Each structure stands twice: as structure tokens, then as C-alpha cells.
Amino acid sequence: MLMFAAAPVRGLALALPAMLGPPLLVVLFVTGHMGLPSPAFFLEHARRLPALARWLAGRWGGVEIPSPYRPAPEQPERDADGWYHDGDDLYRSAFVPAYLARLRWIAGDSATVRDLWWMALNPVIGAPIALLSPALLGCGLVAAWLRFPVAGGAAVLLGIAVGPASLHWHARWTRVLLAPTRANPGRVLDPRIVAGVRLCASMGLAFMAAALAAVQVLAIVVTATRLWPDIVPAGRRFVSWRRAQMGEWTGARIAEPYHREPPPPLPDHNGMYRTAWGEFGTLHRTRESAARAQRWQWTVRDPASWRDLAWLSLELPAATVVLAGPAALIAGGLVLCWLWMWINLLRLAGAQLPWSPDDLLHALLPALAGVPMPVVALAAAALGIAVSPAPLRWHARLSRSLLAPTKAAVMTRRIGELATSRTQLSDAQAVELRRIERDLHDGAQTRWIAVGIALGAAEDLITRDPEAARDMVAKAKDLSVSALGELRELIRGIHPPVLADRGLADAVRTLALDAPLDADVRVAVGGKIAPPIEAAVYFGVSELLANIAKHAEAKKVVVDLRHADGVLKATVTDDGRGGATARPGGGLHGIRRRLEGFDGVLTLVSPPGGPTVATLEIPCALSSPRTHSSSEKGSSTC
């Protein structure tokens, strides 16, 4: 009995977090896109609202709703040189890498996205369910006060009776978005329903785009582009977010078109800061002035900034033409159903209304006389949901015409990437040459000098002490054998003979045979690969196997080598403890730099506890097929 009596109060308590969701969503939008310094702080503390709703709904609704968040990242540790690492960047203080790690943890967690969807949808879905019992109870009390005791008593009893059921259904709705499900809401719900929700969200975001466009245009007109560069980053964050959303929602992937941000200005020999403006550049007395001028050039002279402004200005008219019809059907139908429900609850409680929703509908649309409003409203919403996927795709394709990089931008970026890759490859070659010179000087050259000295001593002793001369010759022989071994190791480090004689597949199998753990090699390469690419992949796989044997505490490793769609891919998977990172100066960072010289990439997935999956990808074409022999230790497929 206590459960039935407490249900209306609990429904009111559950409706309060639902009403706080939209204001909090606005705060998160402002902090995330208007340039405030700590969006991670606001996102992390915003989790408290859905966490409270999750706990209350699960406890009162009798539905288990566990927390969906991933474990927080560990605090960064100082290396031997006193630096803190964040990828390839080094910091003296732990604050910045710790903040960036928490930002990636929060922003990259799918539960954060579900929290945002819950804040947006809970007021129109969860709140009516939670308020059903207290609304009936309140209407009944009002009807009794207005001297309609029968209707009021019936409404009070009905409100008390449906209380536990409404709490249970509210908890089940909360579990849809706030529980740790393997499938995202798009897989739980019908794709057309998800497309309808996204279409309505896109229509609402079009108004935000118009507001950002108005702010930028005002800054351009009033300050003659002086303050515009300070506003462009906020617009870029919003546009980049929408670009990624449209790609995720419709499959129309849109690449980032922006120029790379220039490095911080450095002082000249006279202490002045020079920026590339004009024929000879412009000098600035302070770093702040030079950085501001540099930022102005970076934003104003980038065509993508003006294309973003054009898209922000045209987004609302374009969305109105493409999305407004289905969005009006969906939102209008749901709103009419909601109004019809509450108006009839008021009439059931005894309230006297001058008109009914059905009368208003029939007055506006005489052709639908006799058709109840819920039928018409649900039919309109269903029609809008049914046609939603197509307008959503059209909108994404229309937006791509402005948000995608132009051919000139793609060519400029490609030239910059090639220049960077060439510089890195030249640096790597210079380092390798210095290593070869050092190894020759400190190793083989020293031993051959010792051989010469020993033979000279033996020549002096051969007439006076033949036995000692024989010992010196034997010593020189041992030194020559050691020097020859070092030369062979050096040659193997430059280009292994097995790689030149038998190709990449057998060379990788040889690495697996030499590995101190169970290695399984699978090969699906039907042709010959260019020798430089073979060497890059070979040394990459060799470094990965060495790291696994040394650090991963793994028992088994699988090497999968295949060529498909013009890309040579080598995937190394181990069952070790995980937690591998590509730190500057480490072996994984060296692999990444070696691959960048061939436009290749290293993708590393190594969660704590494992498994670790390292994938090397290099775009290349195959020539004539090559036959490889099989390996005893690893299975292969050619």
C-alpha cells in the first residue's frame, strides 16, 4: 500500500531531472562551442544529472540500470627525463596531459552521447510517463474541490493505481539510453525512428547555425574582420561537430578542409617576431601581437573559413526546404497527441473547456470530420518518420558541397603531407646512416684493426717464438670471425638476406620461427611488393614481435599479412596485458615514422588487460605473383 501511495511523489521527483535536462544541454553547448577553456569540466559534472535519474528510476521502478561509463584514465607518470607524455607531445607539468586524457575519456565515451540524447528526449518522453500518476491525482483533487466528487474520486484512484506501473515504464525508458548496452540506440530502435529523431535535431541545430552566422557577420561588419578570427574557432568547432554527425548519421563522410595551424612565432636575431605578410613579412615587438596576426592570416586567408560562414548562413534556409516538412509532421503529430491526452484528462477531472481538440481539428480540416485527433496525429508522425531517411541524406549531400574540401585544398594538403613525409624519411635515413657509420667504426673496424695488430705481432714472433706466433695467428682468426659476424648482423639490419631472396611472406615467417612465443602467421598476398615497402613492413613486424616478447607477457601472437583494395596490411595481435602506447623515442613511434615515409599508418588498439592489436597499413600495388614456401611454426594462406 505504501508503494501505491508514494508513487505520485516519486513521479514528481523523477520529472525534476527531466526538466533540468534542456537547460543543462544549453550550458554544455555554450561551453563546448563558444571557446570556454574547460569543456571537460562541464561534461564530467553534467554526468551527475543522468546518474541521479538512473539511480532513482532503477530503485523506484524495479529495473536494474548499471552505470555505463568507462573507467577514468590514470594520472600521467613522469618519465626518466622528467617529462610528461601526451602522444608525441611533452610537458613539464602533469596538468595538461591529465586534462587532455580526461577530455578524450569523456568525449570519446559513447555513454556521454547517450546522456546528451537523454537530456534532449526525456522531457518529452520520460517526463509525461513519470507525471501520469501525479497528474491524475492532482486533477482528481481539483475536480473534488470543484464539487465533482465522483469524477474526482475516480481520477484519484486511477492515479494511485497506475503509479507503480508508470514508475516501471519510466525506468524501462531510462534504461534504453542510460544503461550500458552493446548496441547503440540506433540499433535498439527502428532505423526510421532514429532518422526521424535526427531529422528533428538537425532542424533545431539549423537555428544554432543561423545564430553563429549572425554573430560572425556582425563581427565582420562592425570590426572589419578584426575580431572575426577570435570567433571563427567557435564556429569551426560547431561545423566540425555537424560534419562528423552528418557522416555518422548518413554515411556521407566529409573530410576536414582546414589549413594546418601555423607553429608559434619565434623571435629573430634582433628579438622581433616576423609573420609572413607582404613581400618581406611583418615585424612585431611582442609574441602576443605576432600570434594574433598569425591567427588572423590563418583564419581569414583560409577558404574553408568563408565556406563555413556560407554554410552557417545557408543552413537554416536549406534545412527549411529539405527537413521542415517531415520535422513538422513528426513534432506536430507528437505535440497534438500530447495535448489531446492532457486536455481529455482535464475534462475527465471535471474541467469545463469551451472546445475540444477534435472540434478544432475538424474545423481546420473538414475532410477529416469524424476521425479522432490521435489517429490523425499519429498518422502524421508515422508519415514523417517513414520519409525521414531520404531528406536526411539529401541534407547531408547538400551540406557536403560547402563543407567538403575543394580540389585545391586537397592538393595543398597532399603536397604538405608529402613534404612532411619526405622530411621525415630523409631524417630517418640520416639517422640510419649515422648508426651504420657508428657500428662500423665501433665494431667491425675496431676488430679488423685488432686483426692487423695481431698479425703484425705474429710476424715479429714467427722466427723468435713460433709457438707464440701461432697463438697470435689463432687470436687474429677468432677476431676475423667475430668481425665477419658483426658485418653480417649489420647487413641484416640494413636489408635482411631472406627478405631479398624469398620475399616478405617468408621473411615474416622466419621472424615467427625466431620469436620466443607461439606465433601464427597468415598470409594472403598474391604478388610481389616493392623492396622499400617490404623492408618497412618487415622491420615494423620485427619491432612489434620484439616488444611483445619483452613487455606484453603474451603467450600467443597472430600475424596476419594481406593485400586488399590497394593496401598492404599487417596486423599483429597478442593476448598480453595491453596498455601499449606510441611514445616519442620508443619502438612504436619509430614504426610510425618509418611508415609515414610511404603514406602508411600505424593503428594501435591496446586497452588495459589486452588484447593488443597493431595494424600497419601502406597503400601499394602488387606486381607479378611470387611463390612462397610454407612455415612449420605458423599456418599461412596465400
Q: What is the secondary structure of 330-366 as a DSSP string?
A: HHHHHHHHHHHHHHHHHHHTT---S--HHHHHHHH-G
CB atoms within 10 A of CB 190: 11
Strand 84-86 versus strand 612-619 pairing type: unpaired
Q: How far apart are CA 444 and CA 480, in angstroms?
A: 9
Phi, psi angle pair for 62, to nearest 5°: 70, 25
Yes or no: domain 415-494 corresponds to CATH 3.30.230: no
pLDDT over 50 at 183, yes or no: no
Which residues, including other chains, have CB under 8 Å from residue 23's CB and lie 6 or more apart?
none
pLDDT category at 345 given cuts 50, 70, 90 is: low
Cell numbers 577570435: residue: 230
Strands 273-275 and 567-574: unpaired
| Report for 169-183, 273-287, 352-366, 401-415: range of highest mean pLDDT | 169-183
Q: Considering just the CA atoms, what is the radius of gyration of the chain in Å?
A: 35
Contacts of 95 by beta carbon, 8 Å cutoff, 6+ apart: none
pLDDT in tens, 382-436: 898 899 999 999 999 898 888 888 777 667 766 766 666 666 666 666 666 776 6
* Grid cell 613581400 in the structure block, residue: 279
Distance of alpha carbon 439 from the chain centroid: 43
CB 605 within 8 A of CB 583: no
The owner of cell 546522456 is 115
d(CA 485, CA 494): 14
Burial class (CB in 10 A: 0-12, 13-18, 19+), 108: exposed
The whole-number average pLDDT for the span 245-271 is 75
Bridge partners of residue 86, in order along the sequence: 89
SS3 5: helix
Residue 262 in contact with residue 298, Cβ under 8 Å?
yes
Q: Sorting pLDDT into bands at 50, 70 and 90, what band is 280?
A: very low
Scanning the structure block, which residue is given the C-alpha cell 550500458? 180
Q: Within its chain, how far is the Cα of 511 from the centroid?
A: 34
More confident residue, 38 or 145: 145
Overall pTM > 0.75: no
Query: Are 415-494 and 503-619 equal in CATH topology?
Result: no
Give the model's pLDDT for residue 244: 86
Short-list 341, 32, 332, CA closest to 200: 332
The Cα 311–Cα 398 span in angstroms is 10
Q: Which amino acid is at 230?
A: D
Q: What residue has cell string 517531415?
A: 326
pLDDT digits (tens, 9 = 90+) for 311-328: 999 999 999 999 999 998
How many angstroms separate the first and last alpha carbons of the chain? 72
The answer, yes or no, to whether residue 352 has pLDDT greater than 70, is no
The set of cell numbers assigned to 183 is 548496441
Length of the chain counted residue by residue: 638
Q: What is the pLDDT of residues 474-522, one digit of tens each?
A: 887 777 777 777 776 666 556 666 777 778 888 888 888 877 788 888 8
**Single-letter amino acid code for the residue at 441:** H
Per-residue pLDDT for 91 more than 90? no
Give the CA distances from residue 386 to residues 194, 201, 330, 331, in Å, rounded to whole numbers and listed in that order.
11, 16, 10, 14
Domain edges within the chain = 2-70+109-189, 415-494, 503-619
Q: Any idea which fold 503-619 has? A: Heat Shock Protein 90 (3.30.565)
- Distance from chain centroid for Cα 91: 23
Tens digit of pLDDT for each residue in 4-29? 778 888 888 888 888 888 888 777 77
Q: Which residues contact 503 (CB under 8 A, 6 or more apart)?
A: 528, 529, 534, 626, 628
Confidence at residue 316, expressed as pLDDT on a 0 to 100 scale: 92
The reply to whether omega before 23 is within 30° of 0 (cis) is: no
* Predicted local confidence at residue 279, as pLDDT: 46
pLDDT at site 264 = 67
What residues have CB less than 8 Å from 462, skipping those under 6 apart?
A: 469
Give 629's pLDDT tier (boundaries 50, 70, 90): very low
pLDDT tier at 534, thresholds 50, 70, 90: confident
Residues contacting 429, CB < 8 A, separation 6+: none
pLDDT of residue 333: 82
How far apart are alpha carbons 200 and 328 in whole angstroms? 8
Lowest mean per-residue pLDDT among 136-145, 357-366, 460-469: 357-366
pLDDT at 631 over 50: no
pLDDT at 445 over 80: no
